[in-house]
Amino acid sequence: MRAVVQRVSRAEVWENGVILGRIGRGFVVLLAVGKDDEESDLDYVFNKVVNVRIFEDELGKMNQSLVEVGGQLLVVSQFTLYGDCRKGRRPSFMDAAPPDKAEAFYERFIERAKQTGIVVSSGRFQSMMDVHLVNSGPVTILLDSKKSF
């Protein structure tokens, strides 16, 4: 499982001119599921997202997590994080999970976040969306449950 985590001051996701989700201070998480992912991959990425300490404390050090600052999540499915551009000019998506598996993992990620009390918004799986965000910092973190980067 892969995720791009962007610390934001605000963000929203749109589909066909309609807002699907909107958050204030928190993270935009672009989430992709790999074809070989298991529940442990979901656990790894989820725990990193909610516990990574990239919000400033009172001394200005990145030392607080999303949970500690009461941040919000905007989760958007993005299978293109598995795009492999090493050969040719067109990316291969062979390592991305099939849609049924990817959607199930995506929905479980969102449900787990809601169960922790985090305010969660999301996009629509397999939909063409526009994501508008203000990256705070900017701070962007790449996560990969297979630790390939």
Residues designated catalytic: 78-80
Residue 1's CB is within 10 A of a number of other CB atoms, namely: 27
Buried residues in 47-78 as b, exposed as e (16+ CB within 10 A): ebbbebebbbeeeeeeebebeeeebbbbbbbb
CB atoms < 10 A from the CB of 133, how many?
Answer: 19
Q: Which residue has the tokens 């050090």?
A: 61
- Who's near 90: CB < 8 A, 6+ residues apart? none
Q: Return the closest-CA partner of residue 22 out of 59, 69, 75, 66.
A: 75
Neighbours of 42 (CB within 10 A): 20
